[in-house]
Every structure is written in structure tokens, then in C-alpha cells.
Chains A and B, each alone.
Chain A
Amino acid sequence: MLKGELVFSALVFVVSLFLFWVTGSFFGQESYGKLGPAFWPQIILVILAVMSGIVSIGTIKKLSREKGWGESLMTMDRGKVRFFAAIGLIVVYIFLLNIMGFIIMTPLFMIAFMILLGEKSKGWMVGVSIGLTAIIIILFTKAMYVPLPRGEWLFRKFSLLFY
């Protein structure tokens, strides 16, 4: 855990240095005075780099004291598999939402996610996923006029039957 913590704080440190470099490309218009668009982000990034540096050094000291350098970052247990699978599912869902549409993707995604989280009751899975999709479609498209993604080609035609 400590090693992961170190990686995170070191990453914040490196990213803040990188973003500080990026701020060099912000050109403010002279008429707006001396404080251009880079002024405020640079202040934040300097303090962020200092703070994440302090946290990283603190974690390194703690790691040395607790002799935690041996711990491996890459061990895959069931929890980690579930975590990465959940991210994968979410990425696929967001990616396909515009292609297959909300009405088809949402129940499929929900059932897959429920299986991933260990749900066993088929009735609950199907009932909740279809029920919630229906409720959201009615609430958002009919009551609040928020256009949900309809998808493309055949999927679009299918979605148009409902909203």
C-alpha cells in the first residue's frame, strides 16, 4: 500500500512539473495587464509540486523504516481483477453508448456489472436493469426533455420507437 501511495504522490509531483511546463505556452493578451492566463495555474502548480514532494519524501522515509520496499505493486488478487474489470466495463459502456444507444446498452451493462459484483438472482438482475432503464427514459426524455443517446443505424431506429 505504501509503495502505491508513493507512486501516486510522485505522479502528482511529476504531473505538476509537466503542467508547469505546459503553462509556458499560454499567451495572455497584453491589454489585460500583467497577470496573464498562466499566472494562477503556475501558483497552484508550484505549491502542488512542493506539497507532493513533501508527501513523497515522507512516504519514502516511512517505507525505509517499515522495510516495505519488498512489497510488490503488481500482485493481482480477486479485488484487483474486479476493479480492472469494472473499469473495462465502464469504458466499453461509454464507448458503445453513442453507437448502440442508451436503451440497448444500459440493461446489458447493468446485468454485466451485477454479475461482476457477484449478484446471483437472475430475477433481480433482469427486473432492476430493465425497470431502471424504463424509468430513466420516461423521466429524462418525457419529463425533463434531456435527449439520451440514440445510437446509430438500426439501433437508432429501435431507439426512436421509444423516445
Chain B
Amino acid sequence: MDIWLGALQTVFQPTMLFFIMAGVMLGTILGAIPGLNSTMGTALLIPFTFAMTPENGLALLAAVYCGGTFGGSISAILFNVPGAPEAAATGFDGYPMAQKGQAGEALGYAIMASCLGGLFSVLVMTLVSPQLAKVGLTFSEPEYFALAVAALTLLSSLGGAQMAKAFIAGLIGLLLATMGIDEMTADARFTFGTKALMGGINFITAIIGAFAVGEILAKAEEGKGLSGEYLNIKVSTKLPKIGELLRLKWTILRSAVLGTAIGILPGVGATTAAFIGYSEAVRWSKHPERFGTGVAEGIAAPETANNAATGGAMVPLLTLGIPGSATTAVIIGGFLVHGLQPGPMLFINQPKLMYSIFIAMFLANIFMFFAGLGVAKAFANFRKVRYSILGPVIFVFAAVGAYGIRNDMTDLWIMLACGLLGYFFKKFKYPIAPMVIGLVLGPLTETSLRRGLKMTDYDLIPFLWRPIAGTILLFALISVLWNLYSVFIKKGKASLEEIE
């Protein structure tokens, strides 16, 4: 109880409240602008959190994450251009509804559903995390190895027909993480004799490169939309009435539960949650044929689910140090810049910090309601978002952020190299998220495997034959096999191209 009171005291300080509010606002704006998203936003913000207390910095990042997940729906509804991938499913019904002249209503449903989904998941996160952290304390090297493998395979196998590409992306992330001095033997790996690469690749630099610089290069080539989106309607958000919300109660509840659960699975985030939330809403509906024409359920379902995934994705991050999504992988950077390693030990060493993050996320979801109303209004009347101005601004932020981490010019070259990698990934349809997760989980996967095998005297059987580690690895294996089964056998298209 004392911890809760201490955390409440920390959160309800004016500076902290300001950071949460600013974070939600910024996240919503970033989410709403196509080409920007909360992952890039949090990556660009990490260098700014250097100068803040860990509580303020992490609350800011968590608030950007919450706001960014919702923000994408604004442009999905108004322009049919999802501002962020997690809002893609919202456009299915949001845009047709806006086309019918009910853009205000569509935004109202999206805001309400997002808040409810977010609040539900934060509640679950608050209840589940401390318990899971206790279980996490009993984990040893084999369990951590199993969890990391599960996170990577789950994410890659959800890539469906793109599975091989997702695996390649994850493996490239793991490989990049091995560059520099080997933690266990102090040998230099893949440094090619240069001192600059001895320190390895900082994952924040790599993420800034892959997400921000890669996107800028892709946009520069595309040329489309550089001069901005046009909108000729005036929009004022109309919140749904209580009766309408009650009508949607099962849709919202189903999506909230699904979204939170999907978020908790390591490696899978808001985008998957939104699509599953939408498809489940269609499946359970009495009028599935109406979906896609602009029905409220079609907006409430994905919006509840994607925001519910934010709280869910924080659970494995806070309790085990395993990111539940690409953005939470970036948020690990927010912990690391303050010398904190997310995981079960933080609940023992820094309980106040952990509980302040819970409260901050709770508040962020409430602020999101107001930020949503404000940004939706501003965005609808904001005629132009010129990428020709925005692109260079983002680049300079990216460059300063990458440089600021170690004050080293090498990081700028690494950022550019990762930017090119990100560009080719985007061009040839390789998902970036597995690479980020691979990069973040690389050191953990390797050291837990090598140390764990040392514990069992290099015998693989006792390493794998542990109840929790074994179950998690089995789960990971089943997820890959199931995906292979559905690609090869179920669809009857047994060709190499299918898994490529």
C-alpha cells in the first residue's frame, strides 16, 4: 500500500502530469500523420529522456505509445490512409462511415473504444504484472532462452505467407546484436579491425535508422504525398451515447480481452490485435455482411483491441524484460539509458517506479480521450501535412538522437546503414518488427543459451527438459509448425513461393 501511495505521489506531480499529457498529445499527432508512428516517436524521444528522472522519462514514452496507437485511426477514418499500421483495420469501416458524412461519429467511436480498451488492459497489467514477476524471479537461463526464442518465432510465424522473410528479418536483428565485443569471452566479433565497431551496434541507433531514416528514403523515392493530404470537410467529433455504447458492450469486451491477451504474447503487438479483433467481431456478428460499409462495430472492435494490446504488451516487458511488441522493444531503451534492466528484479529494487508506470499509463488512457478530441479536430481542419518539410525535420531529430546516445559520429553512419536496410526491407516487403525484436533480444538469447548450457555441462537434454522452458519451447515449435501446416497443407498450395 505504501508503494502505491508513493507512486501516486510521484505521478500526481505537475511535471509528471505534464509529461504524460504532452506524451499522449505527441503520440496522437505522430500516430495521425501517415509515415510516422509511435515506434519511431518513442525511438526519437529516448535521447530526450536522458535528462529526465526515470519515472518522468518512462511515463512520457508509455504515454506516446498509448497515444500513438490511437492516433493512427484519425487519418484512417478521415483519409483512408492509416497513420500507423495498427489502425489499418479501423479504416475498413471508419472510412466508409466518414464517406456517409458521419466522420464525427466514426471518430467518436474510435476515441471511446480506444480509451475503454486501453483502460481495461492497464487494469489487467496492474493485476497480472506483480504476480508474473514473482514467477519470473524463479526463471533461470534456459527459461529466458526459451522466452526469447518464443518471442522471435511467434512474431515470425505470424507473418503468414511472408514467414521466411520475417525469419530473415529476425535473424538479421540477432546477427547485428552479435557485433562488437563478445560479453563472455571479450573477443571482437565482426568488427573487421575497426575500433569504431568494438562497442557493437546500439539498438536505439539501429531502430532510429531502420524506422525513421528508412521511411524518409522510401518517401523520397515514392514522391507521392510529399505536398500533403487535402480534406474538404469540416469535422467535429460526436461521442457515442450511453445507449449506443451499451449496444457495443460485447464487441468492446471481446476485443479488450483479445487485445490484452495478444499483447501479452511476446513479440506480437497492436496490429495483429486489431485485425483479430475485427475478424472476431465479424464472426460473432448477426449481420456480418454489413461490415465494411461503415458500421460502429467495425470501428469499435479493432480500436479497442489495438489499444488493449498496449497494456498487454507492457506485461512481458515489465515482468520479464521481453518486449511484447516493436514499440515496447524500443521502450527497453528508455530503461537502459537510466541504467535500469527491465525484468522481475525491478519489482523488488524499484517497486515505486513500476507502480508509477502503471498509474501513468492509466492516466495516459484517460488523457487520450481529450487529446483524441483535440487532435481529431485540429487534424481535420489542418489541410496540409507536407512531407517536404516534415521529412528533413524528422531526419535531423533522428541524427541528433543517434549521435546523442554515445556522442560518436560512428553512430550516424550506423544509423544511415540501418536506414538503407530499413528501406530495402520496406521495398521488398520484409517486416521490420522482427529485426528490432531480434536486435533487442539478441544478447539475452545468446548469453542465456551459452550460460545455460554451461550450467548443464553442455548437455542439451537437461537444458531443454525443464517444465517451464520446455513448455515455452514446445509452444514456439507448435506455432511454427501450425503456420507451416496452414500454408502448405490447409490451403493446398505446397510451393516454395508460399512460405516466401
Residues on A lying within 8 angstroms of B by beta carbon are 1, 4-5, 8-9, 12, 19, 22-23, 26-29, 32-41, 44-45, 47-48, 51-52, 54-55, 57-59, 61-62, 78-80, 82-83, 85-87, 90-91, 93-94, 97-98, 106, 109-110, 113-114, 116-119, 124-125, 128-129, 132-133, 136, 139-140, 143-149
Query: Considering the chains assembled together, what is the distance between the CA atoms of A37 and B105 in angstroms?
Result: 58
Contacts of A125 in B (CB 8 A): 389
B467 an interface residue at 8 Å Cβ cutoff? Answer: no
Question: Which single member of A29, A61, A80 contacts B495 (CB below 8 Å)?
Answer: A61
Contacts of B187 in A (CB 8 A): 26-29, 36-37
Establish whether residues A117 and B226, one from each chain, have CB atoms under 8 Å apart when the complex forms: yes
Establish whether residues A4 and B400, one from each chain, have CB atoms under 8 Å apart when the complex forms: no
8 CB < 8 A contacts A-B = A1-B428, A36-B187, A41-B189, A45-B175, A110-B392, A133-B396, A136-B400, A144-B50
Contacts of A114 in B (CB 8 A): 388-389, 392
Given A40-B450, A97-B409, A26:B189 Cβ within 8 A: yes
Establish whether residues A117 and B220, one from each chain, have CB atoms under 8 Å apart when the complex forms: yes
Shortest C-beta distance, A147 to chain B (Å), equals 6
B246 an interface residue at 8 Å Cβ cutoff? Answer: no
Who on chain B is nearest to A137 by CB?
B400
B227 an interface residue at 8 Å Cβ cutoff? Answer: yes
Who on chain A is nearest to B165 by CB?
A55
Shortest C-beta distance, A107 to chain B (Å), equals 10
Query: Considering the chains assembled together, what is the distance between the CA atoms of A129 and B219 in angstroms?
Result: 20
Mask, B363-395, CB within 8 Å of A = 1, is 000000000000000000000001111011101
Establish whether residues A124 and B389, one from each chain, have CB atoms under 8 Å apart when the complex forms: yes
Establish whether residues A149 and B409, one from each chain, have CB atoms under 8 Å apart when the complex forms: yes
Query: Considering the chains assembled together, what is the distance between the CA atoms of A122 and B302 in angstroms?
Result: 42
Contact stretch, chosen from B74-82, B178-186, B327-335: B178-186
Establish whether residues B189 and A86, one from each chain, have CB atoms under 8 Å apart when the complex forms: no
Question: Which single member of B178, B220, B497 contacts A40 (CB below 8 Å)?
Answer: B178
Establish whether residues B446 and A90, one from each chain, have CB atoms under 8 Å apart when the complex forms: no
Contacts of A55 in B (CB 8 A): 164-165, 168, 500
Please classify how large the interface on chain B is, using the bins under 10, 10 to 19, 20 to 34, 35 or more: 35 or more
Question: Which single member of A44, A97, A132, A149 contacts B175 (CB below 8 Å)?
Answer: A44
Query: Considering the chains assembled together, what is the distance between the CA atoms of A51 and B413 in angstroms?
Result: 28
Contacts of B499 in A (CB 8 A): 54, 58
Mask, B395-434, CB within 8 Å of A = 1, is 1110110011001010011001001100010011000000
The 8 closest A-B pairs by CB, nearest first: A58-B500, A119-B388, A117-B388, A83-B221, A37-B182, A113-B392, A144-B51, A37-B187
Establish whether residues A80 and B221, one from each chain, have CB atoms under 8 Å apart when the complex forms: yes
Contacts of B427 in A (CB 8 A): 1, 4
Shortest C-beta distance, B35 to chain A (Å), equals 12
Q: For chains A and B in complex, what number of residue pairs have CB atoms within 8 angstroms?
A: 183
Query: Considering the chains assembled together, what is the distance between the CA atoms of A85 and B399 in angstroms?
Result: 18
Shortest C-beta distance, B196 to chain A (Å), equals 13
Question: Which single member of A62, A90, A116, A146 contacts B497 (CB below 8 Å)?
Answer: A62
Question: Which single member of A40, A80, A136 contacts B446 (CB below 8 Å)?
Answer: A40
Establish whether residues A118 and B400, one from each chain, have CB atoms under 8 Å apart when the complex forms: no
Query: Considering the chains assembled together, what is the distance between the CA atoms of A82 and B450 in angstroms?
Result: 46
Give 17 new A-B contacts, CB below 8 A, not counting A19-B190, A48-B171: A1-B427, A4-B428, A29-B187, A32-B185, A37-B185, A37-B187, A40-B445, A44-B175, A61-B496, A82-B221, A90-B416, A113-B392, A116-B220, A118-B226, A132-B396, A144-B50, A146-B404
Establish whether residues B458 and A35, one from each chain, have CB atoms under 8 Å apart when the complex forms: yes
Q: Which of B193-217 contact A (CB under 8 A)?
A: 213, 216-217
Given A5-B428, A146-B404, A148-B400, A82:B168 Cβ within 8 A: no
B315 an interface residue at 8 Å Cβ cutoff? Answer: no
Query: Considering the chains assembled together, what is the distance between the CA atoms of A70 and B212 in angstroms?
Result: 34
Shortest C-beta distance, B220 to chain A (Å), equals 4
Given A36-B185, A118-B388, A132-B393, A94:B400 Cβ within 8 A: no
B47 an interface residue at 8 Å Cβ cutoff? Answer: yes
B223 an interface residue at 8 Å Cβ cutoff? Answer: yes
Question: Which single member of B47, B227, B387, B399 contacts A146 (CB below 8 Å)?
Answer: B47
B252 an interface residue at 8 Å Cβ cutoff? Answer: no
